[in-house]
A and B are shown apart, each in its own frame.
Chain A
Amino acid sequence: MFFLPITSRQEGFSRLQVLTAVFVIAAIGAILFAFNLSNSFNITNPLKKTPPKRIAILTASDLQLTAVDGIYAGLAELGYKEGVNVIFNVQNPKGDRELTKKMATEIAASKPDLIVPVSTTATKAVQEAVKGTNIPVVFVDVGTVSELGILDLQRPTGNITGVGTDSTNVAGKRMEILKEIIPAAKTFGILVNPKHVSYEEIKKVHEEAADGLNITVRFYNLTSKEELMQVLQTIAKENPDGVMTTTESLLSANAETIAKALVQAKIPSIDFNEEKGVNAGYLVFYGAQRFDTGKQGARLISKVLKNESPNKIPVEFSTKLRLDINATLAKSMGVTIPQSILRRANKIL
């Protein structure tokens, strides 16, 4: 074969010449490849490893964990894998407002690629913490987007965008459903935390809805767990025709206690928390499907991770709501759930 080592230069090509020729071919090949590839695909080089994006998630309480699951699921569908191209740092202050602020500050200090606050409380804390930085924020499950000070939802300012649930407004709908279940009701008690960032808005929505439904609302303020038993006793004593909970982590955390007390007092109730809701012992649940909200948020998170500016991503709203009925409980309480409600229910216990 002519490739075998050539011992004498007089025999034709030197090995160096052969090698050089091969090199020339390789160079031509490389040029052609480069020419074609650069024109055809925007393929990211698989060999080029970008460090995984660090995503910090801050909830307000366990209430938002379903939404967090939705975020995980949504990102997984979009091709993100924890430890491969994303690293999650989930902080849960379990309803402690001060801790929420502290965690938000810590998260901002750790300079993640993106912060995802879940809930209005967490988002307000994060908004405060990221001031002066350029960390993008994608909020999820914010019940009162108007509280965030975002003027133009199409082009949100402040390096922030996200998915709202409009759950505050849904309070009216909840009151309508409770009234439909108890057509004779005159008074509804509203469990509310006056320290909630959207307290005024919450109050206003409830009052407006009560006007339309000829209902009198009584607000039962609850600012700490310690006050809980007192408040429940007050409710039992005053015995409203129905009780509604509002989006408040303190309430979610003590859902079972509250539901149980209300059942004992034979007061029908409607809750806002998908997770707890009827499972915790409330009669009815009507509200956003937080898991879907999380998934919807994942889409926006993905955009921001691909370096799209949050300012160019319009704020979205989750419109997927569900109605759960604890029919068994209703029966034991002697409450007759109208057929019209039962037909509309997504879940009946």
Chain B
Amino acid sequence: MFKFHSIATKLLFETLLIVGISLVILNLVWINFVLPQKRQDLAQIQLHTAMHAQDKIKDFVFSRQKELATLIEIESFSDLPTERKNELINLILKNDTVVSEIDFLDKNGQELIKISRLRFFSPEEYQNKFNTESFQKASLGNAVISPVYFRDSVPYLSISIPIYDIGRVFTGIVNAEINLSSLWDVFSEIRPSANGYAYVVGEDGILIAHPDLSQVLKNQDVSSRFCVARVLAEMKECSGTEEEASYINENNIEVFAAGVPLKELGWAVMVEIPKSEAFSSINQILRFSAVVIAITLFWVVVISIWYTRRIIVPIKQLEKGAQTIGKGDLNYRLMIKTNDEIEQVANSFNLMAQQLKDSYDMLEKKVDERTVQLTEQNRLLSGLRNLDQAVLSTLEVDELSQIIVDLVYKELGYMFGTIALITPDGKYLRRIAMSRTQNEKLEQSLEIVPIPFKKQLVPLTVTDNALIRAIRERKTIVISKVYEMQKGLFTPDVSEKIEKLLNIKNMHIYPLITKDKVIGIIYYALTLEKEISNVDQAIMQEFANETARALNQALLYQDIKKDREIISAERNKLAVALSGITDAVIGVDLKNNVVIFNTAAQKLTNTSEKEALGRSLDQVITLFDEERVIPLSEYAPIKLNSFEGVIFNKKNVKLIAKDRQAVVDVITGKIKEGVSINLGSILVLHDITEEKKLEEMKLDFVSMAAHELRTPLTSLRGYLSVFMEENKKMFNDEQAMFLNRMNISASQLTSLVENLLNVSRIERGVFTINLEQIDWVSVASGIVDNFQGRAKDRHIKLTFQAPKEPIPKIYADKLRIDEVLSNLISNALAYTKPNGSVTIAIEKSGNDVITHVIDTGQGIPKTAMSHLFTKFFRVSGALESGSKGTGLGLYISKAIIDMHNGKIWVESQVDRGSTFSFSLPIASKVQNGQEKKV
């Protein structure tokens, strides 16, 4: 299709546009200039035509008037007899068809003769026309032409000729009626142009003559037409050059009109030319100029095509040449001889091609040089790539080393390479691998050496060995003598033999350094033929670097492997240990899913390892503290910190697992590596179900025994005291003493039984207290008073130290607290030597009331302190011997104080005394009348 962006198209269209527009503008300017001129000319023609028509009308009317007058005069009309008059009139009518009627009036205006072409008038129809304007005027002696009048729409005028007798006496007039409709015949011949015509307008503006008779018969009033109005009004010609002179006529055609007056009759003679016709000649010229424009444009196209071809063909050659040169044919030369700018461009192209060719040649040379370099580099890259593959293929140091040194021979093209690594103890450099080549001499050289290759250990202490130097100095060392690197291994003669055998030129020793640590060396042996370039050096260095990295990885791998084996062994040991221990061990991950579940755990929960592993711990076991379910978050909290140690510790926990119940002591621990190895915590569950059962049984027995003992004891004591009271005077001292001892023993036994019952209650959880508000100070002082007797017996000073500030009331079970304080005082008296003192003091501390029992007794050894409040515990040694307790008092006291939300504690120094203290909350803190159960 069209290429709008081609020069040819652009040139063609732009030229067409410019030329076309220019021609059209020229044409328009010309039209503008010519039109007014043309209009002037036309107006002249119209006026001429109008004048011609004017002449014709004058001829039409006045010639008739003249002829009529002449005829009448010649014939002496008035003197003729009537018959002759009739005959004459009929002759006129015959000869002039325009005359429709002729009347003869006598001097009095009476019609005497009236002859029409069409009809017969009888004398009865004759009229007197004396008073008519035409008669009056004519009677004055002049021929009169009447104004135009219409009958049956036909315009008429009458010509009145006065008649005189021989004596020049007025005898009447002859009146001839002229049918003006015949004028159309006259006017149809008067034509200013093919479609133009003339017409006549009467003095009152009505159309009276027109080539189209119908227009006349319509009796049209055309006085409104500009030129008509002007001519009728001014009786002057209207040239029609005015703008208003053109109008749309009755046939709906726009016309130009011009007119001249017919002064004698007061008429206007008009000439109309259709506007289109008026300018038809101009249009012809325009048509001609259109043809000229078309031809011109045609030639413009032709010339454009020819000219653009002249331009385009060389341009296309240029384009083709540019493409040819662009494709690489730099020997191509453009042969354009246009002797203009295009030729200059072509020459520039040729010059450019030449310069390109020169540049290209030079570039080729550089490329060759660069190719050699690239080949060398490729060698390195290839070696390195293979090295990478080797690293991927194995992590065994010996195998990897062998592959690397083989690459030195195969890929890098050196005679051979050797890797030696520092032994793990850091004392020796040991050869690990040497290139396997096709070179037999290399094999022979190995046979020459006295020590097998892999056993060639060079102590790092050998300072003048080149290999050791390379390690120490951490730099590349190039040697030409083999012995330099075999010092400390062989004698010089062995080295010399090898050197000669292998024809070694020099050896490049590179330390293998990775992460700033030297792990060994690699050396490359080069023959005499081989030239060493910079690239070679770079290759060797890079290769050494990569080797160091790869071998380091392999060494690390070896270490890891070893560590793993150790870990594996540890794990196995642990597994054996876990399965062997009697406590259940459960490990959970960081999501509390079971990951360790030992044999004991399986047994405890009656759940197999398979069932337990992977499940959430709370799906495997449920722990209860009394009746409360211990949430998982409490006994196995997830702690993502590096905390290590016990995180939960609780005894006597009820465990329900599957269909099994047990009582366990739970210890949850965590290790700091837990987070990294996905080990949340480890639970150790010590099964105390059996112990508990035994305890129950023991308690049951004790309880039962105590109950069974209490009844006979009560009666024994009752009877004994009655017996003693009643027979007091019967006994001698010895008997009294026995009885008294019996009584004391019975009391002790009762006390023991009571204590045992209390312990049993505490253990079973049925020990209750009944809280009430009590004034502790008065209660306490009363209790102290009760012990004054015993204190006196033992020569101990028992003091109740009154508080310095008022002590608020406390909530407590009066009896139980009494028991606690009594117990403490009793103990203090028991363990205090005579002349010692026991002091009871009460103080308020915060929201608590603290009661101290301070003695100056023998004190409690440190080792006993922690067991002091456990049941059946009695301090051994001196203390034990002096006491008569059951080992249950403090245990019960603690239980009571605990139930009061208080605390009991002891401070003691051996040989100095002890202070037992307990705290009780003041009254406002606890509600009245509460009952509490342990």
Residues of A within 8 A of B (CB): 2, 10-13, 16-18, 20-22, 24-26, 28-29, 32-33, 35-37, 39-42, 153-155, 166, 169-170, 172-173, 175-176, 208-209, 211-213, 299-300, 303, 312-317, 319-321, 323, 339-340, 343-344, 346
Interface members, chain B 601-649 (any A CB < 8 Å)? none
CA distance A6 to B598 in the complex (A): 101
CA distance A37 to B284 in the complex (A): 9
A11 near B118 with CB under 8 A, answer no
B120 near A212 with CB under 8 A, answer yes
Question: How many residues of B sit at the interface, in one of the four size bands?
Answer: 35 or more
Q: Which of B2, B90, B100 counts the most A-chain CB atoms under 10 A from its CB?
A: B90
Residues of A within 8 A of B291 (CB): 29
CA distance A172 to B122 in the complex (A): 10
A-B contact pairs, 22 of them (CB 8 A): A2-B302, A2-B306, A13-B309, A21-B16, A21-B301, A21-B305, A25-B301, A28-B297, A29-B293, A29-B294, A33-B287, A36-B286, A37-B287, A40-B286, A154-B153, A169-B118, A170-B118, A317-B152, A319-B100, A319-B117, A319-B118, A343-B91
CA distance A12 to B304 in the complex (A): 11
Residues of B within 8 A of A21 (CB): 12, 16, 301, 304-305
Interface members, chain B 283-322 (any A CB < 8 Å)? 283-284, 286-287, 290-291, 293-294, 297-298, 301-302, 304-306, 308-309, 312-313, 316, 319-320
CA distance A74 to B282 in the complex (A): 35
Residues of B within 8 A of A11 (CB): 309, 312-313, 316
Cβ of B218 under 8 Å from chain A: yes
Which residue of the partner chain B has the closest CB to A2?
A: B306
Cβ of B124 under 8 Å from chain A: yes
Residues of B within 8 A of A170 (CB): 118-119
Name A's interface SS: helix
A209 near B8 with CB under 8 A, answer no
Which residue of the partner chain B has the closest CB to A209?
A: B120
A213 near B122 with CB under 8 A, answer yes
Residues of A within 8 A of B301 (CB): 18, 21-22, 24-25
A80 to chain B, nearest CB (A): 17
A209 near B122 with CB under 8 A, answer yes
Interface members, chain B 88-106 (any A CB < 8 Å)? 90-91, 93-94, 97, 100
A213 near B276 with CB under 8 A, answer no
CA distance A39 to B282 in the complex (A): 11
A40 near B276 with CB under 8 A, answer yes
Residues of B within 8 A of A212 (CB): 120-125
Interface flags for B6-47 (1: CB within 8 Å of A; 0: not) read: 001100100010001000100000000000000000000000
A322 to chain B, nearest CB (A): 9
Residue among B8, B83, B90 making CB contact with A12, cutoff 8 Å: B8
B93 to chain A, nearest CB (A): 8
Name B's interface SS: helix
Which residue of the partner chain A has the closest CB to B284?
A: A40
A340 near B152 with CB under 8 A, answer no
A278 to chain B, nearest CB (A): 17
Residues of A within 8 A of B125 (CB): 212
A36 near B309 with CB under 8 A, answer no
CA distance A341 to B100 in the complex (A): 18
A172 near B309 with CB under 8 A, answer no
Interface flags for B206-217 (1: CB within 8 Å of A; 0: not) read: 000000011001
Known pairs A28-B20, A173-B120, A212-B120; A340 contacts B219 (CB<8 A): no
Cβ of B86 under 8 Å from chain A: yes
B83 to chain A, nearest CB (A): 7
CA distance A208 to B306 in the complex (A): 96
A32 near B293 with CB under 8 A, answer yes
Cβ of B478 under 8 Å from chain A: no
A51 to chain B, nearest CB (A): 24
Cβ of B239 under 8 Å from chain A: no
Cβ of B179 under 8 Å from chain A: yes
Residues of A within 8 A of B298 (CB): 22, 25
A32 near B179 with CB under 8 A, answer no
A210 to chain B, nearest CB (A): 9
Interface flags for B373-405 (1: CB within 8 Å of A; 0: not) read: 000000000000000000000000000000000
Which residue of the partner chain B has the closest CB to A210?
A: B122
Which residue of the partner chain A has the closest CB to B300?
A: A25
A176 near B120 with CB under 8 A, answer yes
Cβ of B280 under 8 Å from chain A: yes
Q: 5 smallest A-B Cβ distances: which pairs?
A: A212-B122, A40-B283, A314-B217, A172-B120, A29-B294
Which residue of the partner chain A has the closest CB to B306?
A: A2
Which residue of the partner chain A has the closest CB to B214?
A: A313
Which residue of the partner chain B has the closest CB to A175?
A: B120
Cβ of B204 under 8 Å from chain A: no
A270 to chain B, nearest CB (A): 12
A-B contacts besides A12-B305, A29-B293, A40-B279, 4 pairs, CB < 8 Å: A10-B320, A35-B290, A155-B218, A343-B87
A2 near B90 with CB under 8 A, answer no
Residues of B within 8 A of A25 (CB): 16, 294, 297-298, 301
CA distance A317 to B297 in the complex (A): 61
Which residue of the partner chain B has the closest CB to A152?
A: B153
B1 near A16 with CB under 8 A, answer yes
Interface members, chain B 118-163 (any A CB < 8 Å)? 118-125, 152-154
